Amino acid sequence: MLASIKTNSLTNEGQKLGMMYFRVAVILFGAQLVMGLIAAIQFLMPGFLFEIFDFSVARMVHINALVVWMLYAMIGSTYLMLTDETEHEGVGIALGKLGFWILTAAVTVVVLVYIFIQVGAGTEATIWFINEGREYIEAPRWADIGIVVVVLIFYWNVFATYLAGKQTGIMTVMVANLLALAGLYIAGMFFTDNISMDQFWWWWVIHLWVEATWEVFVGTLAAYALIKLIGAKREIVEMWLWIEVLMLFGSGILGLGHHYFWIGTPEYWWEIGALFSALEPVPLIAMFVHVLYDWGKEQGIANGKGEEGNVIKNGPAMAWIVTNAFGNFLGAGIWGFFHTLPQVNIYTHGTQFTAAHGHLSFFGAYATILIGMIYYGIQRAYGVERMKSTFKSKMGIFMITFGVMGMTIALTIAGYEQVLVERADLGATWNAFFTAQDLAWYTQAQLWRAIMGVVTFVGFIYLVWDLLTIGKAAKETQEA
């Protein structure tokens, strides 16, 4: 079905490959949401699909699909912009395509195993063939190795093209950052049976991804997209990109400490984690201010001259990228800062508050801009000059954003109740854990999360419908 997103107008092989990655990303995004809905229903009706498709399995597939679809969309975006930035044909794209098929076949097998086999005994065989039991990146070891091979091919495509072509600031940051991003995956691959040690290394992947390398990655996407969509000046976006690299790598790496508070690591992590993670929102705020400031300034200058200014060349892509600026700031910056000091985290750790932050940050910082890039890919695939938002684009972005915001608020309320009742009042005992979950503040919040999840899902249907039709419609308008 998604094949109806035509790539005929593309002459560039790298961009065609990018579109292939995008299609799979959208399918996995859909799978993620279905799994989230199942898990949300299980919060309300614990017997739902009990021993057929347990909460633990639905939750695992939900968050692994999330990580994988985002990686697909990131790889897709990189292939999409490669030739534009380097002004050089992608090197070795045929091998890249082979890599795509290997990766997609592996992901399919892994997902089928997750759904049909689900769990295994606590043995080496399970680690090799079923799952590794590491939250967010649970691929079994055979798939881990496959992923590393495919990522090496991808990295070679990018690096060789970069060396052969023009070396813009955006591409330099991207090449260096991708190396770190891919390298960190290795930290999550080995196994130790000491749970503290295991968690210590596991956070290297998940925290250093989302709070350092992924943030810088979407910085490069935003820089590229702003140039393409509204004609932003390269010097300005690149300057901010470098500042972001400097600040995020600084605060993000030591900010890792905010995950070391309660896992048995030495206490000096309290101070390190508190100070540096609290600094993390600074670059996010800077980026946010910068996007709005630049845009306002440029429009003001143009309007002063009585001109239209830089018309937006892709309405839905721009809308999603602006949502990214707000979403990143709110989800990572505000919701992250809320619980990052150890004095606060001792109460909020592992409550629904964490889930609220997880939803808004992953959505705001990553889902948004990646969806924007998919829209931009479609514009390129159909070779249209301008792509305006349709009714479906607007319904898609509105319902998805409203739904995720709604879920976040519901979970924040549930988390607040857990902090007050379970942690502060009843002293975090086993009984307190269950007592807190029976109170109305909690159960009603879970109901609202499920309702808002359905809103999100309906928005997703609009989104897919739009992705399938917008390019063709824009092309017809242009030809008329």
Query: Footprint of ligand HEM on this chain (CB under 6 A)?
Result: 33, 36-37, 39-40, 43, 59, 62-63, 66, 135, 210-211, 258-259, 277, 280-281, 332, 336-337, 339-340, 345, 349-350, 354-355, 357-359, 361-363, 365, 367, 404, 453, 456-457
**Which does residue 363 bind out of ligand HEM, Fe ion, none, counting CB within 5 to 8 angstroms by kind?**
ligand HEM
By beta-carbon proximity to ligand HEM, the closer residue of 219 and 453 is: 453
By beta-carbon proximity to ligand HEM, the closer residue of 97 and 207 is: 207
By beta-carbon proximity to Fe ion, the closer residue of 55 and 347 is: 347
**Which does residue 36 bind out of ligand HEM, Fe ion, none, counting CB within 5 to 8 angstroms by kind?**
ligand HEM
**Which does residue 59 bind out of Fe ion, ligand HEM, none, counting CB within 5 to 8 angstroms by kind?**
ligand HEM
**Which does residue 367 bind out of ligand HEM, Fe ion, none, counting CB within 5 to 8 angstroms by kind?**
ligand HEM
| Residue closest to 332 by CA, chosen among 374, 368, 375, 293 | 368
Give dist(CA 168, CA 422) in Å, integer. Answer: 53
| Residue closest to 75 by CA, chosen among 217, 228, 248 | 217
Assess contact for 48 and 117: CB atoms under 8 A: no
By beta-carbon proximity to Fe ion, the closer residue of 113 and 253 is: 253
Closest separation between CB of residue 160 and ligand HEM, Å? 30
Closest separation between CB of residue 43 and ligand HEM, Å? 6
C-alpha distances in angstroms, 448 versus 60, 139, 441? 22, 32, 11
Give dist(CA 230, CA 447) in Å, integer. Answer: 41
Closest separation between CB of residue 176 and Fe ion, Å? 21
Chain-centroid distance of CA 176 in Å reads: 20
Site residues for Fe ion per CB under 5 A: 207, 211
Give dist(CA 417, CA 410) in Å, integer. Answer: 11
Closest separation between CB of residue 258 and Fe ion, Å? 5
C-alpha distances in angstroms, 396 versus 20, 371, 399, 402, 475? 22, 11, 6, 10, 21
Closest separation between CB of residue 14 and ligand HEM, Å? 27
Closest separation between CB of residue 3 and ligand HEM, Å? 25
**Which does residue 63 bind out of Fe ion, ligand HEM, none, counting CB within 5 to 8 angstroms by kind?**
ligand HEM
Closest separation between CB of residue 204 and ligand HEM, Å? 13
* Main-chain phi, psi angles of 314, to 5 degrees: -145, 100
By beta-carbon proximity to ligand HEM, the closer residue of 63 and 322 is: 63
By beta-carbon proximity to Fe ion, the closer residue of 16 and 207 is: 207
Give dist(CA 275, CA 39) in Å, integer. Answer: 35
By beta-carbon proximity to Fe ion, the closer residue of 215 and 238 is: 215
Give the residue closest to Fe ion by C-beta.
207
Collapsing DSSP states into helix, strand and coil, what is residue 51? coil
Q: Cβ contacts of residue 423 below 8 Å, gap of 6+?
A: 347, 348, 351, 432
Closest separation between CB of residue 126 and ligand HEM, Å? 21
* Main-chain phi, psi angles of 139, to 5 degrees: -50, 135
Closest separation between CB of residue 37 and ligand HEM, Å? 5
Collapsing DSSP states into helix, strand and coil, what is residue 350? coil
Give dist(CA 289, CA 326) in Å, integer. Answer: 10
Please report where in the chains the tokens 């999360």 appear, as a residue: 449
Assess contact for 440 and 421: CB atoms under 8 A: no
By beta-carbon proximity to ligand HEM, the closer residue of 150 and 404 is: 404
C-alpha distances in angstroms, 407 versus 353, 372, 394, 455? 11, 22, 20, 10
Please report where in the chains the tokens 């000059």 appear, as a residue: 385
**Which does residue 355 bind out of Fe ion, ligand HEM, none, counting CB within 5 to 8 angstroms by kind?**
ligand HEM
Closest separation between CB of residue 250 and ligand HEM, Å? 13
By beta-carbon proximity to ligand HEM, the closer residue of 55 and 129 is: 55
By beta-carbon proximity to Fe ion, the closer residue of 357 and 380 is: 357
Q: Cβ contacts of residue 235 below 8 Å, gap of 6+?
A: none
